[in-house]
Amino acid sequence: MNIEPTIPTTKNPPAQFSGDVWLDPIALPHEPDQTMVVATVRFAPGARTAWHSHQHGQYLRVTQGVGRFGTRDGNIIEVHAGQTIYTPPGEEHWHAAAPGCFMEHLAMLQNGEDPSKTTLWGEHITDDEYNGRSSNAEDTATSTGGAG
């Protein structure tokens, strides 16, 4: 059993994020058969990711504030502290803090065989995409028959 060393907070790169977004790793693989990665990600108001997808999907648990999560079909889900969202493998999406408030989430995913290809990054989202229609996460989960 080990207490893990603290890894310094890093600011996420502008090629993949707009606005101020910081990352604190929590869990990284130690052994060859381990693939789980967990991190705390903090977004300043209005800060956002670029379009991206994950080889094995991703769970995001909002721990503080209000987040926006969007997909290529234009759907935006507003997620509040205590709610978890799942994006399936290969689904292009973005995440962001809502306007006027910070948002923090836990990001949980499995690395692929080549960790550098686990997340595929695309272009930055536009202000129009960020400001698209919004719905409550619980309403969306109910109307689609379940989360994800």
> How do residues 40-76 score in pLDDT, each as one tens digit?
999 999 999 999 999 999 999 999 999 999 999 999 9
What global pTM score does this model have?
0.84
Q: Could you tell me the two tokens for 26?
A: 């929590």
| Cβ contact 89:143 at 8 Å | no
Distance CA 111, CA 36 (A): 6
Token digits for 11? Answer: 């600011």
Interval 92-142: pLDDT, tens: 999 999 999 999 999 999 998 888 889 999 999 999 999 984 444 444 443
Phi, psi (degrees; rounded to nearest 5) at 98 = -65, 160
- Token pair listed for 62: 């909002």
Residue 146 tokens read as 């379940």
Residue type, 57: G
- For residue 135, the one-letter residue type is S
Phi, psi of 121 (to 5 degrees): -95, 140
Architecture category of domain 10-140 in CATH: Sandwich (2.60)
